[in-house]
Chain A
Amino acid sequence: MSLWRREELAIGIDRRRLVAAPGGAAAPGERWEAATLRDACVAAIGSHRGPVQLVLGSDLCRHFVQQPPAGVRRLDELRQVSALRATRLFGGAAEDWALAADWDCRKPFVCAALEAGLLDALRGSVSKRQRPLRVHSALFLALQRLWPQAAPANVLAWSSPAVTVVVTFVDGAVAGLRCLARDASAAAAEEQTCIAEAARVEVEALREARRMQQAPGPVVFASTAGARLPERPAWRWFDARRLLPGNDGSEAAWACRLAARPEGG
């Protein structure tokens, strides 16, 4: 281990579970509350002194695509508009949601929303120890790793234990994002599961194309099944096992493995 770089502790958190990289885990029951989440994080961090990365599963973190209104030029205006859209989509008040996005006034961008109370609890779990903290959405991390594959396709799709994500591109920018809930009990590596997932993706891609009033384009499906999957017209199976972890286990474990895995390896 380098004297100058400290190992980063990765912790995956989904709606019902917390998984830390060395093997720790915690489960609150039905869903997290701020206090229980903070205590679980503190316990998971333990005596670790280095940086901490918290990765939130797609069932805990909400996502949507924000189209910047014409005339918006300032970041605070963009944040306000996005917060209002989050309240319209997920309920509550604007101050109830914490947002993270690669803000852009010129083209649509993906926005992640997390309950502000949970974010405060996550911050509170490390503030006393003053160590660097990163809080990411697992969907964001996966999209960033799969982003180079988006060039030849209009639709990019992949699966995690909790959701199947379908991202639609128009003119080089994200135009649509759909998170389809998955049946966690289904065996992830089975070929039938992958084919079923692909079918759902295809239907969703067609629906998005109709919504955007454009012709359905080629689809790139990032698969971690490892099985030999059947060829389909206008489809490309992409072996993403080097980029994404397998879908066995919980969403929290998947997020934890995703954060712990270096990019490209």
Chain B
Amino acid sequence: MKVGRLHAVGFVAPRAAWWHGHREGRARRLAAHVVTVLAAATLLAAAAAWLQGGQALNQARAAAAASAARAVPPPAAPPTRLPNFTASERARINQAIAQLNVPWASIFRSLEAQATGQVAVMAIEPDAERGTVRVSTEGPTLDALLEHAERVQSAPPFAHGRLLSIDSEPGAQGRAARLTFELRIER
């Protein structure tokens, strides 16, 4: 049979009983002191680590701000060296670019919109350098052709037209006339 411990307890609470407890004993007081010292040391270490962390953070921020102030601008891009083209090469290149920029879709839409049963469009020749389109039409009567040319020149993307040639000789299939006119394209 084993009995538990009997703790020495008096009628008067020991000094600092809130710290050591109400049971007396040197070992108990020593244990309370050791625990208190360890707790205080832990708190101090935690506070020191927190302060150090804060200082390190501030230092890092200051260093980042200083480095940003001293930031060197990025090196300028090297100048682009254009190849040396001759005048004729340059002209051909520009011509090709102009050809590619001809608004074929709007030209066809406009001509289709003005088409009638009396007029047949025989040729469409763009001149990209001058920004014009030469149109050749055929029809039974010259009036119909002229009427058609007037309508086309007033419709977008054309600005105005210039009559180039009229051919009123009767054709093999009974056509009365052939008309050629030039239209300037609006930019």
Q: Do A and B form a real pair?
A: yes
Given A134-B24, A169-B1, A171-B1, A119 contacting B11 (CB threshold 8 A): yes
- Assess the B10–A150 pair: CB atoms within 8 A: no
- Assess the A140–B14 pair: CB atoms within 8 A: no
Closest 3 CB pairs of A and B: A135-B11, A172-B3, A100-B11
Q: Residues of B contacting A178 with CB < 8 Å? A: none
Q: How far is the CB of A208 from chain B (nearest CB, A)?
A: 16
A65 at the interface (CB under 8 A from B): no
Q: Residues of A contacting B12 with CB < 8 Å? A: 119, 122-123, 133-135
A147 at the interface (CB under 8 A from B): yes
A173 at the interface (CB under 8 A from B): yes
| Interface residue ranges of B1-28 to A (CB < 8 Å) | 1-12, 14-15, 23-24
For the complex, count residues of B whose C-beta is within 8 A of A.
16
- Assess the A136–B6 pair: CB atoms within 8 A: no
Q: Residues of B contacting A147 with CB < 8 Å? A: 3, 5-6
CA distance in complex: A127, B184 (Å): 122
Task: Give the dominant DSSP class at B's interface.
Answer: loop
Given A132-B14, A132-B15, A134-B24, A101 contacting B4 (CB threshold 8 A): no
Q: Residues of B contacting A133 with CB < 8 Å? A: 12
- Assess the A98–B3 pair: CB atoms within 8 A: no
Q: How far is the CB of A216 from chain B (nearest CB, A)?
A: 15
- Assess the A173–B8 pair: CB atoms within 8 A: no
- Assess the B14–A134 pair: CB atoms within 8 A: yes
Instruction: Report B73-92 CB contacts with A as 1/0, cut-off 8 Å.
Output: 00000000000000000000
- Assess the B1–A114 pair: CB atoms within 8 A: no
Partner of B9, one of A101, A107, A173: A101
CB < 8 Å A-B pair total: 58
Q: How far is the CB of A165 from chain B (nearest CB, A)?
A: 14
Partner of B1, one of A132, A143, A144, A152: A152
CA distance in complex: A172, B3 (Å): 4
- Assess the A102–B6 pair: CB atoms within 8 A: yes
| Interface residue ranges of A141-159 to B (CB < 8 Å) | 141, 143-144, 147, 150-152, 154
Given A147-B3, A169-B1, A173-B4, A98 contacting B23 (CB threshold 8 A): no
- Assess the B3–A141 pair: CB atoms within 8 A: no
- Assess the B3–A151 pair: CB atoms within 8 A: yes
Q: Which of B5, B10, B11, B12 has the most CB of A within 10 A?
A: B11
CA distance in complex: A222, B133 (Å): 137
Given A102-B23, A134-B24, A144-B6, A151 contacting B1 (CB threshold 8 A): yes
CA distance in complex: A203, B7 (Å): 29
CA distance in complex: A171, B2 (Å): 8
Q: Residues of B contacting A20 with CB < 8 Å? A: none
A225 at the interface (CB under 8 A from B): no
> What are 30 A-B interface contacts by the 8 Å CB criterion?
A101-B9, A102-B6, A102-B7, A102-B9, A102-B23, A107-B4, A110-B6, A112-B11, A114-B11, A119-B11, A119-B12, A122-B12, A132-B14, A133-B12, A135-B12, A136-B8, A136-B10, A136-B11, A140-B9, A141-B8, A144-B6, A147-B3, A147-B6, A151-B1, A151-B3, A152-B1, A171-B1, A172-B1, A172-B3, A173-B4
- Assess the A100–B9 pair: CB atoms within 8 A: yes
Q: Residues of A contacting B11 with CB < 8 Å? A: 98, 100, 112, 114, 119, 122, 135-137
Instruction: Report A167-178 CB contacts with B as 1/0, cut-off 8 Å.
Output: 001011100000
Q: Which of A98, A112, A119, A140 has the most CB of B within 10 A?
A: A140
Closest to B22 in A: A103
CA distance in complex: A209, B125 (Å): 136
CA distance in complex: A101, B15 (Å): 17
Given A102-B23, A136-B8, A140-B9, A169 contacting B14 (CB threshold 8 A): no
